[in-house]
Amino acid sequence: MQTTLDKQTNHPRPEEYVAANVNIFETQEGYVLQAEMPGVGKDGLEITLEGTEITITGRRSPEPVVGEPLFRERNTADYRRVFELDPAIDTSKVSAKINQGVLTVTLPKSEKVKPRKIKVD
Amino acid sequence: MNIVRWNRPALSAWPSFGGLSTLRNEIDRLFDAPLTELARASQFLSGATPAVDVFEDKENFVVKAELPGMKKEDIDVSLHDGALSISGERTEEKVENGEMYRSERFFGRFQRSVALPASVDASKIKAQYKDGVLTVTLPKAEEAKPKQIDVQVN
């Protein structure tokens, strides 16, 4: 586990993340996951498939600090979220893209489980 | 000014000893934040009022707003009576023949205004949209800039 030193107490603590808001759709072909990660570019993305889980990590691109902050609402923590995978998903065909802070992950189902019509002779 | 928006507790791994101090911080934060902040920060409303940061240096005010998944054309930035207003509408990205499994994203109209503490030069405002973050740079009007005045002492 990655740890950082807590500035106030000097105790190691688990790294903090914020959960990205997601929408998930299921189609006949597979699943589509959309995650909102404003401030994250292509280089800050890390998607790992391990066993039955998919982990999405988005690291914010460094933003140059301008002067003094007057008002701060935006969270500075990176994004992380873990989902359990439907066993029907073909993990070798997962693809992802990010556009203006919205990550779209396409998780196709393997051919075996896709509904198929059988022609009757 | 020290206004901190309430955020949902961050996801972290299973608590270790450090977990307690996080909880304490969270409780401190709850008591520090005014109630209106808490009400506004509820998840239902947070999408309609995007989170913003405001910075100031000698020359400019810089406002940054989180607007993931927008089209540049759908964002309106305007200045009215010394307040910057950011508004727009996020249209839903539907997946064809898709059945909704989980829905946490906000779609629809949003609006956010920020009162600027000094006057700005409206003709020189610049806005940039990158990685879902809108950055508006507002150069201060001449009269609002800090001035160095040399005083002759005889």
CA distance B29 to A90: 44
> Where in chain B are the domains?
18-46, 48-94+104-143
Please give the pLDDT value at position A40.
95
Tokens, residue A57 = 């990590």
AA letter at A37: M
Note the pLDDT tens digit of each residue in A51-102.
889 999 999 998 887 889 998 889 889 999 999 999 999 999 999 999 999 9
The Cα–Cα gap between B111 and B90 comes to 11
Q: Looking at beta carbons, which residues of chain B come within 8 Å of A34?
A: 69, 93, 105
Would you say how long chain A is, in residues?
121
User: Is A68 domain-assigned?
Assistant: no
Interface test with B, best of A45, A73, A81, A99 (most B CBs within 10 A): A73
- pLDDT for residue A5: 47
pLDDT value at position A3? 43
Rounded to the nearest angstrom, the minimum Cα separation between A96 and chain B is 15
Alpha-carbon gap, residue B106 to B52, rounded angstroms: 16
Q: How many helices (H) and strands (E) does chain A have?
A: 0, 11
Residue A59 belongs to some domain of the structure: yes
Look at residue A90 and tell me if it is in a domain. yes
- Please state, rounded to an integer, the average pLDDT across all residues of chain A: 86
Considering only CB atoms, A101 lies closest to which of B3, B21, B69, namely B69
- Whether residue A7 lies inside any domain: the answer is no
| Residue bearing the bigger pLDDT, A15 or A101 | A101
B18 CB within 8 Å of a chain A CB: yes
Number of domains in chain A: 1
Does B97 reach chain A within 8 Å, measured CB to CB? yes
Higher pLDDT residue, A114 or B96? B96
Q: Are the beta carbons of A65 and B67 separated by less than 8 Å?
A: no
B152–chain A Cβ distance below 8 A for any pair: no
Residues 6+ apart with CB under 8 A from A45: A56, A57, A58, A59, A96, A98, A103
Considering the domain boundaries, does residue A116 fall inside one? no
Provide the domain limits for residue A104.
Answer: 14-63+73-110
| Residue A21 located in a structural domain | yes
Name beta bridge partners: B99.
Answer: A26
Q: Provide the ipTM.
A: 0.80
Domain B48-94+104-143 has CATH 2.40.50.140: no
Q: What is the CATH number of the domain that holds A48?
A: 2.60.40.790
Residues from chain A contacting residue B12 (CB–CB below 8 Å): 13-17
% of chain A with per-residue pLDDT over 70 = 88
Band (A20; pLDDT cuts 50, 70, 90): very high
Q: What residue in B sits closest to A57 (Cα-Cα)?
A: B11
- Give the residues of chain B that fall short of pLDDT 70: 1-21, 32-47
* pLDDT > 90: percent of chain A: 62
Contacts of A21 in chain B (CB under 8 A): 104-106
Residues 20-79 of B with CB under 8 A from A: 21-22, 51-58, 60-62, 64, 66-70
Is residue A41 in a domain?
yes
Q: Is residue A77 part of a domain?
A: yes
Q: Residue range A3-18: average pLDDT? A: 57
